Chains A and B, each alone.
Chain A
């Protein structure tokens, strides 16, 4: 099971992911990523509090969001919040915790964007 919800917090787009982001569900998220990029939505905070599991396809979708928003002019920004459990393990293994700005909470991510 996977679903996502998009919310606006001022100019910040919060994308809340829930369930398993894997080879089965990643195409669904990629369609939302297409929409975010087309609308030039930035900054984006990915709220992973409800994300129970991620595989390499799910990682690919998140990397795709990061790279495509960065290619916007001006470059877009993505922050990740509430990373824990198995997804945190995979992020550390692939050293994505160094590539992304990881925040403990969504509130912290928004606060950092405001600075």
Chain B
């Protein structure tokens, strides 16, 4: 069975917590272990922060649509905005073994924790879709939601 939640949020950092709590609740209800839920939360946080801090930089009127979808096979997190788009390919990976950097980790965290990440435009709308393939073990407590 699939669990799907759609949230319409203002693009403000303060709004992120609501979606974060929804995502954690869905993840726990489906019986996924805390480390996996943490991975999804971390990827979501970086994606939401990017929308607020970059897509809607210097704007306070932005809106973000967040779709959370979990089933036995995958967790999908999708964020849509109408802010400034960007080219993910132009963002270089951070140098992790060199001089410590104070920034540039966000996209790397997303790419590392999720199985698939896509970013595209639908008209004026930017859509970031992050998918985590899941393998539930037989002893994982599955909740029916």
Contacts and interface: CB of A to CB of B under 8 A. Distances in A.
Contacts of B16: 24
B106 interface: yes
A42 B123 CA distance: 53
A37 interface: no
Interface string A80-111: 00000110011001111011000000000000
Contacts of B53: 23
A78 B102 CA distance: 16
Given A89-B38, A93-B109, A94-B96, A55 B102 contact: no
B98 to A, nearest CB: 10
B18 to A, nearest CB: 13
B14 A63 contact: no
B13 A56 contact: no
Interface residues of B, number: 28
Interface bracket on A: 20 to 34
B94 interface: yes
Contacts, number: 62
Interface in A1-36: 22-24
B100 interface: yes
A68 to B, nearest CB: 10
Nearest to B106: A56
B71 interface: no
Contacts of A94: 94, 96, 105, 108-109
B49 interface: yes
Given A23-B13, A93-B112, A93-B113, A55 B100 contact: no
A90 B100 contact: no
Interface of B: 13-14, 16, 34-35, 38-39, 41-42, 45-46, 49, 52-53, 94, 96-97, 100-106, 108-109, 112-113
Interface of A: 22-24, 53, 55-57, 59-61, 63-64, 66-67, 85-86, 89-90, 93-96, 98-99
12 contacts: A23-B13, A55-B42, A55-B45, A55-B46, A56-B104, A56-B109, A60-B103, A64-B102, A86-B38, A89-B38, A89-B39, A98-B97
